[in-house]
Amino acid sequence: MNFPDTALFTFLYRLINSPGIGSVIVLVLGGGIVLSVGLTLRWINRGGLADELDVYAYPTPTLHQHTVREG
């Protein structure tokens, strides 16, 4: 082998060489992204439940204190 014969290096080598560990990382990452996106979308969707009657086609008038121009 091309590395010092210590427990740390052996562990790291096993980490990168064992089949399946890479798959776990891909799946955890992919699953994590899908899950967090799903949660974000739900969070945005729930935002509609707020007790606000005014709706806007774009956010400027409500978020950034510009005057509303009725088009």
Partner 1 sequence: MLKVDEKDKAKLLEPLFTASPRFWGFILLLLAVMGWGAFMYGRQVLFGLGETGMQRPVFWGVYMVNFVFFIGISHAGTLISAILRVTGAEWRRSITRVAEAITAVALIVGSLQIVIDMGRPERFFYVFRYGRLQSPLLWDAISVTAYLLGSLTYLYLPLIPDAALLRDHFPENGRRWQKRLYTLLAIGWRGNRQQWLRLEKAIAVMAVLIIPIAVSVHTIISWILATTVQPGWHSTIFGPYFVVGAIFSGIGALFVAMTVVRRVMGLEDYITGRQYRNLGLLFIVMNAVWMYFTYAEYLTLAAGQEANEFPVLASKLWGEFAPGFWTMVALMVMAFWIMVAPLLLPARAVKKGLFHPLASWGTAVIALLSALSLAGRLPMFASLPVVIGALALSLFLAGMGVAAWFKTRPVGATALAAIFVLVGMWLERWNIIAPTMTHPYLVDYATYQPTMTEYAITAASFALFIFLFTVFLKLFPAVSVWEVMEGRVIEAERAKVHIPLPEPSRARRSLRGAGD
Partner 2 sequence: MTKWAMIVDLDKCVACQGCSIACRHENNTPAISPEEAAMGRAIRWNDVFPNPVNGTEEAGAYPHVRTRYLPRPCMHCENPPCVKVCPVQGTFQDENGTVRQNYARCIGCRFCTVACPYGARYFNWHDPYWSPEMARCLNPDRVVGRDDLEGPAVRLRGVVEKCTFCIQRLYAAQDRAAAEGRDFRPDEYVPACVQTCTAKARYFGDLDDPDSTVAMLSQNPRAFRLLEDVGTRPKVIYLREG
Q: Which entry of partner 2, partner 1, none binds 6, CB below 5 to 8 A by partner kind? A: none
What's CA 13's distance to the chain center, in Å? 29
Q: Which entry of partner 1, partner 2, none binds 5, CB below 5 to 8 A by partner kind? A: none
Q: Which CB, 14 or 66, lies closer to partner 2? A: 14
Which residues inside 11-30 make contact with partner 2, applying CB under 8 A?
A: 17, 19, 22
DSSP for 3-49 reads S--SHHHHHHHHHHHSTTHHHHHHHHHHHHHHHHHHHHHHHHHHGGG
Residues that bind partner 2 (CB under 8 A): 2, 17, 19, 22
